Amino acid sequence: MNMKERMLAGLPYRAWEDGLPAERMENKRRIYRFNNLAPDDQEEAKALLAEILGKCGGYIHVEQPFHCDYGKHIEVGENFFANYNLTILDVAKVKIGDNVQFAPNVSLYTAGHPIHPVSRNSGYEYGIEITIGDNVWLGGNVVVLPGVHIGNNVVVGAGSVVTKDLPDNVIAVGNPAKIIRKITDEDVNYYYKDKKIDQIYVIGSGTSYHAGLSAKNYLEEILNIKVFCMYPTQFSRSEKVFNKNTLVIGMSQGGQSLSTVEGLDAASKRGLMTASVSENPTALIFEHAQTQTRIEVGNEKCGAKTKGYAGTTVTLMMMLSELAIIKGILKEEKFKLYKERMFNVIHNMPLVVDAATKWYGRIKDEFLPAKRIIVVGYDGNYADVLEGALKVLETVRQGVTGYDIEEFFHGIYNSITESAHIFYLASKGDYKPRTLKLIEILKEWTPHNYLIASPEEIENQNKNDCIVEFVEDPLFSPWEYIIPMQVLACLAPQDLGINPDIPKDPQFHARIGSKKLDGLRDQYKK
């Protein structure tokens, strides 16, 4: 065996033989380039990290400076963040799992030297692999010694020296690090478990706002308190909150919305509890709230979010379900029943996608020339009405409006002409017969009517109808009723020759000042 083979096998080796100095020098050059990049040159930083490391996940951010021996012996999972001055002596393998975060000055040492001076002076050294599981947080100045395995969901306190393996779900501190307690489900809502919450405001813009509306009925049912959904600017500038036992949840998938930051700051100034929800692990809104929750849907680089709508809705539901369970408001047995209902809807989604795709194929020739588009619906699907209208507007880039059907009755109908294209989300309920009656009337004024519904109560179907066996769950079927509008928003721009990922003005948010695009935390920047 040569010295490199001995090194990687954990056997004594000499670091200056068999090409090892040349490998280290080559890596030092890469590290030098990385550490001397301009702080806003994040694309080049990502490229260099991919070159330095043996393996890295979809999102990885390492603050400068960073130091390692070889680099190629380091494997990093998804969503990794390391603060300043990370040092990894990777003479042996270093494996880091998903969703791992390091505070400043963390050091991982696989390298060791003999204890006896005679052996040490011989020049031989050794390396033993370090592994770190998923969802691990290492505090500032933590040192991990050779051969250590850290399990999943572990927190290591600042200044600790980890000399021995740590099992899953523990907090460890000290030199040497010792386990002080297990991490339990009660830690999920650490900030709020002992606080009384009388009402909740969910604030967000666009899809985030619609996701709050979609989750609202479920949240009110399990928590038995009032949940308000508002745009951040409305909340921060005009909303009067008289009850101090109020939780304000700011949601932004990209995490850089300055209006959501303004709303959270306004809540904090009023002495209210705050929480933030974002997909971006370095979201700006995380810095303006007491708690942070990730939407685990991956980076949607497209402007028109689809996964984000469902992901934000479900994340909000799960987050507050955990809070309700911890507070004893929601029993585990009842929550299991809710989850069964959720999965019933989820398992039905492929059927809806298939039906919606075929439906689009039938209507596209009629729909593509549309210049005026209206979406109507009611009850739990009102959020889908607004979100569906937004998706089509973002992608097809024609005028689209969404209305609750009762509001449509109050005057909007007067504006209908033969050029109007109207989509009806007719879920099960008292308003379904009225929707069908409305369609019969409006057929006299426009031929472009598109019904999205289950087959019950529908006698005569035509090619414009998207008739699917929806689950028709009053709390969770909005997840499936949005799909036909999302399919339309996906396929129509392709046929129109529109690339919805390219905004009309790529610099719009920078010019208007609506988002903080600093190139560091904004992972959505092209």
Query: 388: which residues sit within 8 A by CB, 6+ positions away?
Result: 375, 402, 423, 425, 482, 485, 486, 489
Note whether 481 and 435 are within 8 A (CB). no
Please tell me the distance from the alpha carbon of residue 274 to that of residue 507, in angstroms, as a whole number: 31
% of residues, the chain, pLDDT over 70: 95
* Residues 6+ positions from 265 with CB-CB distance below 8 Å: 236, 288
Q: Kindly list the structural domains of the chain, giving each domain's residue range(s) and its CATH number in brackets, ordered by start.
A: 3-183 (2.160.10.10), 189-330 (3.40.50.10490), 347-496 (3.40.50.10490)
pLDDT at 443: 95
Question: Higher pLDDT residue, 199 or 24?
Answer: 199
Instruction: Flag whether pLDDT at 191 surpasses 70.
Output: no
Greater model confidence, 116 or 400: 400
User: Two tokens at 459?
Assistant: 């006698």
Task: Tell me the average pLDDT across 283-292.
Answer: 90
pLDDT-derived band at 300 (thresholds 50, 70, 90) equals confident
| pTM over cut 0.75 | no
Rounded CA separation 160/176 (Å): 7
Number of other residues whose CB lies within 10 A of the CB of residue 381: 27
Question: Given this model, what pLDDT does residue 360 score?
Answer: 97
The least confident of 13-17, 257-261, 406-410, 501-505 is 501-505
Give the Cα separation of 59 and 11 in Å (integer).
Answer: 34
Which ranges constitute the DSSP H helices of 36-94?
Answer: 42-52
Counting every residue written for the chain, the total comes to 526
- In the chain, the amino acid numbered 295 is I
- Number of neighbouring beta carbons within 10 Å of residue 121: 10
Which residues have a Cβ under 8 Å from the Cβ of 53 and sit 6 or more positions away?
A: 60, 71, 72, 74, 75, 76
- Please identify which residue in the block is written with the tokens 């290591």: 156
What is the per-residue pLDDT for 507?
74
Extract the tokens encoding 272.
């209210």
Has 210 been annotated as catalytic?
no
Residue with the larger pLDDT of the pair 488 and 525: 488
Helix (H, G, I), strand (E, B) or coil at 495: helix
Over residues 418-449, the pLDDT tens digits come to 999 999 999 999 999 999 999 999 999 999 99
Task: Tell me the two tokens of residue 282.
Answer: 């370095």
Residues paired with 149 in a beta bridge: 131
- Specify the pLDDT at position 97: 94
Q: Specify the pLDDT at position 524.
A: 39
| Max intra-chain CA distance, the chain | 99
Q: What is the pLDDT of residues 160-177, one digit of tens each?
A: 999 999 999 999 999 999
Query: Which of the following is catalytic: 61, 73, 113, 347?
Result: 113
Mean pLDDT on 245-262: 93
* Residue-wise pLDDT tens digits, 304-356: 778 889 999 999 999 999 889 888 899 999 999 999 999 999 999 999 999 99
- Residue 57's closest CA among 88, 92, 81, 84? 81
Tell me the residue ranges of DSSP E strands in 433-512: 449-453, 466-467
- The reported pLDDT for the residue numbered 119 is 76
Q: Is the pLDDT of residue 526 over 50?
A: no
If one compares 131 and 190, the residue with the highest pLDDT of the two is: 131
**Amino acid type, 420:** A
- The helix, strand and coil proportions of the chain, stated in percent and rounded to the nearest 5, come to 40, 20, 40
Mean residue pLDDT of the chain comes to 90
